[in-house]
Amino acid sequence: MSEPNLGLEWQTGEHWSVGVDAGIKAWPRYLAWDWDKQNPTHWRNFAVAPEVRYYVKEVFRGVFFGADALYTHYNVGDVPTPFHMYPEVENYRLQGSFWAGGLAAGYAWWPWQHWRLELEAGAAVGLAAYDRYECDHCGTLLSKERKVGVVPKLALNVAYNPVSREKHRARRGSNLTISGTDTVTVLTPPVAFVVQLKEVKAPMTVADSLARQNPWIIPIEKYRPLTYLDLTRPAADSLLFVNYELNSYALRRDYMNNAEVLDSMQSAVETIRDAGSTDELLLSIVGLASIEGPRRLNDSLSVRRARAVAEYIGKRTGLAPRQFDIVGKGEAWDWF
């Protein structure tokens, strides 16, 4: 669009966005400050152009490809065009509409915190339906025309984003190095997961006693099975954290305070087992991962971490697989 325009763009997916541009040129001359009545040029138009974009790496950054539509209503005459591409516009006055669809490619970068620049180029093919008049101001109708035309697109866009450059990178996990398919190095602290020890059936005297001493043991009346969709962070004193090294699901007793936490879990299970109530015990284990890295990898990593704890406790206490409620929450910085 040759007139000044304003656009909005929304992110709709990891690589996708949709937007719309609109513009209007209300002044009659080729330039807004040209009020010379002897100047024969006449140019008014309104245009709107919705667009869908695919960003190769991440939304609002780097190389992108777009598909757009264009509608414009115009009234132009005696307007010079580059390389005389549209001789009718230079020699007559045309009034009508143009519908088109096209493709574009571009590159976006952030030179400032909230501002980004975009270079975009493309072309659209469409149908023009217009009336052709003899001169720019006279009303002598010469003909009614319908033609297929090609419109080039070359734009420098200046965009404002409410989310700053650093926050946008953090959301997209830019502090990430990936090598191969399984190795992920992140610049974040080690990731932990949460264990909740809960009873399922009728209250037990031994379990009640343990619950009074250990807030992470929850009576049956407070138990609710966890699912991926409704996981929320419980109160801090009702959690046990087992820590893992970066991008690892290998359970190490000698890492951080894992030995103390694992021993507490094992001791509680053995106490209930020795009281003859092991069959009425359920361990609820939630695996977590950081937000950096591919989501698919983080989802798998969180499940494997939860299973590692279940296998550790199961081998040492004799609990059956059905007595473990294992959930992989995936990316969950809000738990820390």
The DSSP annotation for 59-109 comes to TTBEEEEEEEEEEEEEEEES---GGGS-HHHHHSEEEEEEEEEEEEEEEEE
Determine the pLDDT at residue 121.
Answer: 95
**DSSP states of 279-333 as a string?**
GGEEEEEEEEE-SSS-HHHHHHHHHHHHHHHHHHHHHHH---GGGEEEEEEEE-G
Length reported for the chain: 336
Q: Provide the token pair at 289.
A: 């991962």
Q: Other C-beta atoms within 10 Å of 209: how many?
A: 13
The residue type of 234 is: P
The answer to whether the CB of 26 falls within 8 A of the CB of 43 is: no
pLDDT in tens, the chain (336 residues): 456 678 899 899 889 999 999 988 776 655 544 455 555 567 788 899 999 999 998 888 899 999 999 999 988 887 777 777 777 777 888 889 999 999 999 999 988 878 989 999 999 999 999 988 887 666 778 889 999 988 888 888 898 888 765 555 555 443 333 333 343 334 444 555 555 555 555 545 576 777 777 777 776 566 666 554 445 555 555 678 888 888 888 999 999 999 999 998 888 888 887 877 655 678 888 888 877 778 888 888 888 999 999 999 999 988 888 888 888 888 776 555
Determine the pLDDT at residue 194.
Answer: 55
What is the C-alpha to C-alpha distance for residues 294 and 182, in angstroms, rounded to an integer? Answer: 10
Collapsed DSSP state (helix, strand, coil) of residue 220: helix
Determine the pLDDT at residue 173.
Answer: 41
Please, is 4 exposed, middle or buried when counting C-beta atoms within 10 Å of its C-beta (0-12, 13-18, 19+)? exposed
Determine the pLDDT at residue 269.
Answer: 85
What is the C-alpha to C-alpha distance for residues 138 and 76, in angstroms, rounded to an integer? Answer: 12
Determine the pLDDT at residue 188.
Answer: 43
Collapsed DSSP state (helix, strand, coil) of residue 211: helix
Determine the pLDDT at residue 282.
Answer: 81
Determine the pLDDT at residue 28.
Answer: 63
Q: Other C-beta atoms within 10 Å of 198: how many?
A: 22
What is the C-alpha to C-alpha distance for residues 222 and 219, in angstroms, rounded to an integer? Answer: 6
The pTM is what?
0.46
Closest by Cα among 100, 265, 136, 128 to 194: 265
Determine the pLDDT at residue 128.
Answer: 92
Which residue shows structure tokens 């414009």? 72
Determine the pLDDT at residue 308.
Answer: 94
Determine the pLDDT at residue 184.
Answer: 39
Gyration radius of the chain over CA positions: 33
